[in-house]
Amino acid sequence: MEDNKPNENTKTKSKMILQNFYDIAEIMTSAVIAIMIMFTFIFRFVGVIGSSMDTTLAEGDWLCVSAYIAEPEYGDIVIITHSNFFTEPIVKRVIAVGGQSVDIKNGSVYVDGKKLSEKYTRGMTMPIDYSITFPLEVPEGKYFVLGDNRENSTDSRSSLCGFIDEDDILGRVLFRLLPFGNFNVNI
């Protein structure tokens, strides 16, 4: 009878180890699924390509983006998946929304007749493509966006980009992930 006790203890220990393994596997699987759902539907990470948002954002910065935002408004930095000209998502700042008028003159942007105070911009030139004429009205359901580095940005001033459809906005930038320590994107 004494011989059965070590066998029984070994079986019990094996059963407990196996149960712990299954518990850990279940927790890990649940965590991976939760993270996948969160990063697919709630947050995304996007890298900045190019210099169109200098000095606010630099090439190589990584951004945390939320797809769940109220309609973007003036000043929001958004990620755009535009199918006409760009092969990669682009980063731009919302300047005007549907129903607003935009004018660009003497290096300044006017929305609904009011000059914008844009401390984040870096110069203003018109793009090489002069097919967009100002003043203009932004159609409903569309957005007028500009890069902060206006001298090196293909944005709504160019017919290559034009107005942005609300369905083309992937999300609003919440914060900068990298470089670490410089999280702010609102200037």
Residue numbers annotated as active site? 52, 92
Q: Which two tokens stand for residue 173?
A: 């930038």
Q: For 115-126, b where at least 16 C-beta lie within 10 A, e where not — what string?
A: eeebebbbebee
Q: Residue 51: which residues within 8 A CB-CB, separation 6 or more?
A: 58, 59, 149, 152
Given strand 43-47, what is the order of strands in its sheet?
43-47, 62-66, 169-178, 77-80, 90-97, 142-146, 164-165
Q: How many residues does the chain have?
A: 187
Q: CA 149, CA 57: separation in Å to the nearest integer?
A: 10
